Amino acid sequence: MILSYLTHKQVKLEDPGLKIIATKSSIAYRDLVQGFQQVRPTIICSDDHYNELEIGKAFDFVGDVLLTKDVINKYSSHIFKSFIENLDEENRNKIMVAYHKLEALLQDSLLLEDLPLEIDFNEDLEKLLKLENLHLDSKLMEEPYAIIESILKIHQLCKLGSIPVICNVANYLNSQQLDELSELVNQLNMKLLLIEFTDKDFLIVPKNAEFYYIDEDLVDWY
Query: pTM for the whole thing?
Result: 0.84
- The pLDDT score that the predictor gives to residue 97 is 86
For 4, 50, 74, the CA distances from 78, given in Å and listed in that order, are: 29, 30, 8
Cα dist. 112→91, 92, 99, 106, 118 in Å?
Answer: 33, 31, 21, 10, 12
List pLDDT tens digits, range 62-114: 999 999 988 998 998 898 888 888 888 898 888 888 878 877 887 777 776 66
> 64: helix, coil or strand?
strand
Residue 216: C-alpha distances to residues 169, 201, 212, 220 (Å)? 20, 13, 14, 10
Share of the chain residues as helix, strand and coil, in percent rounded to the nearest 5: 40, 20, 40
For residue 141, how many other CB atoms are within 10 A of its CB? 16
171 near 142, Cβ under 8 Å? no
| Per-residue pLDDT at 117 exceeds 70 | no
Residue 57: phi, psi to the nearest 5?
A: -95, -35
CB 166 within 8 A of CB 63: yes
pLDDT value for 29: 98
Residue 209, Ramachandran bin (φ over 0: left; ψ between -120 and 50: alpha; else beta): beta
Does pLDDT of 17 surpass 70?
yes
Taking the C-alpha atoms of residue 25 and residue 31, their distance in angstroms, rounded to an integer, is 10
Report residue 74: phi and psi, to 5°.
-65, -15
Nearest partner of 80 among 8, 38, 42, 128, judged by Cα: 128
- Kindly list the distances between the CA atom of residue 102 and the CA atoms of 92, 96, 109, 131, 133, in Å, as whole numbers in the listed order: 15, 10, 11, 13, 17
Amino acid in the structure at residue 22? A
pLDDT computed for residue 77 by the predictor:
87
Confidence at 115, pLDDT banded by 50, 70, 90: low
Indicate the helix (H) or strand (E) that contains 164. strand 163-167
